[in-house]
Structure 1
C-alpha cells in the first residue's frame, strides 16, 4: 500500500495543475497562483515520501515530470500569455474558422516558457546526474517566479513595479531568460536532505532561513528575489568547491 503514496501525491500535483490551468485561462491569476503553489507543495513531498518509504520507482519519475509539465510548464506559459496581453494597448482582428477576434501575436510569445519547460523535463528524465543537484533551473522554481508577477501587481500596489512588470520588453526578455535558465548548464543545489546535519546541509539551511526572512519582509516581491538568490547561492557554492 505504501508504494502508492508518492504517486498519489504526484497525482494531486497534477490535479492542482489542471485546476490552475482553468483559472489561468479565465485570467483569474491569483487563484491560478494558489493552485500552482499547492501543486508544488505536493511535488516536494512526493519525492520526500518516496525516499522515506524507500519506494522510488521509474513510473514515479515519469509521472512526476508529466505532472510538472502541467503545473510548472503549461500554467506559467498561460500566465505569461495573459501578462503580455495585459501589456498591450491594441491589436488587430484575426479570423479563426469564420469567427473574428481581436487578438495579437505577441501574447503567444509566452508559450516559449512551456516549450522550454517540456524540453528541460525530457532531458531531466534521461539524465542520471541530477540526483543531489540540478543542471539548469528546475521548472517549479521558474513557475514560482512567473506566478509571483501577477501577485505583485495585485498586492504591492506600486506604480513603479506595475510599469516594469507590464512592460512588453521586460516580459519578452524575462521569457527568453526563463527559457535559457531552464536549459542552461548552471549547476544548482537541490533541496533534498539525506540527513538533518547543519554541516552537511549548511547551504540549504541558510537558503531556507534567508528565503523565510525575505518572505516575511517583502511578501510576494520576495519570490522572484528568492529564485535569484537560489541561482547566486548555487553559483557561489559551485565556485567555492572548484577552488
Structure 2
C-alpha cells in the first residue's frame, strides 16, 4: 500500500496542472499561478515520500513524468502563447511557445533513462522552468514592472523570444545544477542549499512576486559558477 502514496501525490499534481490549463483559457493567470504552485508542491511531496519510504517504482517514475509533461510542459507553453498572442504583426508567431513543450518532453524522457545524483541535476528542471514563466505572467499581466508596460513593442517580442529559446536550451543542456533534495538537515552537507534558501527568502520578503524570476536566474548563475568555473561539487 505504501507504494500508492507517492502516486497519489503525482495524480494530484496532474489534476492541478489540468486546472491550471483550464484557467489559462480564460486568461486567469493569477489563479493558474496558484495551481502551478500546488503542482510543484505535490511533485515535491511525491519525490520526498518516495525517498523517505525508499520506494523504487518504475510505474511511479513513468507516471511522474507523464504528470510533469502536463503540469510543467504544456502549462508554460500555454502561458507564453497567450502572452505573445496578438502582440506582433507576424501571424502565428505565438505558436513558437510550444517549443517549450517539445524540449520539456525531451528533458523528461532523458531524465527517465538517466541515473539520479543527489547533489545535482543536469539542466534546468521543468518545475523550475514553469515557475519562472508562471511568475513572469503575473508580473506582465499586472504591470508590476515598467518594462512590460510596452506590451506590443518590438522589445517585448524580442525579450520573449530570447526567454523561450534560452529556456529550451537550459532544459536539455548538460549544465549541472544543484539539487534541492535534502538527504538530511546537516548544515555542513547542505551549506549551499541553506545559503540559497536564506537569500531567496530575503528576496521574497522584499520583492515579493518579482523575486521569483530573479531567484531562478540567480539559481542558474550560481549553478554555472560552481560547476563550470570552480569545477567543484555543490554540497
Please indicate, yes or no, whether the TM-score normalized by the shorter chain is above 0.5.
Answer: yes
Contact 2:132 2:216 in 1 (8 A): yes
Quickly say closer, same or farther: Cα 1:83–1:156, change in 2 above 3 A. Answer: closer
Alpha-carbon contact 1:165-1:171 (below 8 Å) kept: no
Give how far 1:108 is off: 0.5
Q: CA deviation at 1:130?
A: 4.3
Query: Is residue 2:193 matched to residue 1:199?
Result: no
Number of residues paired by the alignment? 230
Report how far residue 39 of structure 1 moved: 0.3
Shift of 1:208: 1.0
- 2:172 corresponds, among 183, 191, 197, to 183
Greater share of strand residues, 1 or 2? 1
Q: Retained in 2: the 8 A contact 1:13–1:40?
A: yes
Distance 1:124 1:164 in 2: 36
* Aligned twin of 1:212: 201
- Kept after mapping to 1: 8 A contact 2:6/2:60: yes
Any idea what SS the aligned residue of 1:87 has? coil
Comparing 56-65 with 134-143, greater Cα deviation is found at 56-65
Shift of 1:129: 4.4
Determine if contact 1:16/1:38 at 8 Å carries over to the other structure. yes
Candidates 105, 112, 115, aligned match of 1:125: 112
Tell me which residue corresponds to 1:158.
145
1:146 is matched with which residue: 133, 141, 146? 133
Offset of residue 192 of structure 1 = 0.4
Tell me if 1:69 matches 2:69: yes
Residue 236 of structure 1 deviates from its aligned partner by: 2.5
Which residue pairs with 1:99 in the alignment? none
Question: Shift of residue 149 of structure 1?
Answer: 1.3
Tell which structure's C-alpha radius of gyration is larger: 1
- CA 1:164–1:232 in 2, change beyond 3 Å: closer, same or farther? farther
- On the 8 A contact 1:149/1:165 being kept in 2, the answer is no
What's the counterpart of residue 219 of structure 2?
230
Answer whether contact 1:124 1:130 (CA < 8 A) is retained. no
Q: Secondary structure at the match of 1:2?
A: coil
Deviations 1:151-189 (A, max 9, x none): 112445333243379711111111111100101110001
Residue 209 of structure 1 deviates from its aligned partner by 1.1
Which is further off, 73-82 or 143-152? 143-152
- Whether the aligned pair in 2 keeps the contact of 1:68 and 1:139 (CA below 8 Å) is yes
| 2:10 is the alignment partner of 1:20 | no
2:31 — aligned with what?
Answer: 31
Query: Structure 1: 5+ residue runs without aligned partners?
Result: 92-103
State the shift of 1:77 in Å. Answer: 0.2
In structure 2, the gaps of 5 or more residues are none
TM-score (norm: length of structure 2): 0.91
**Secondary structure of the structure 1 residue equivalent to 2:187:** coil
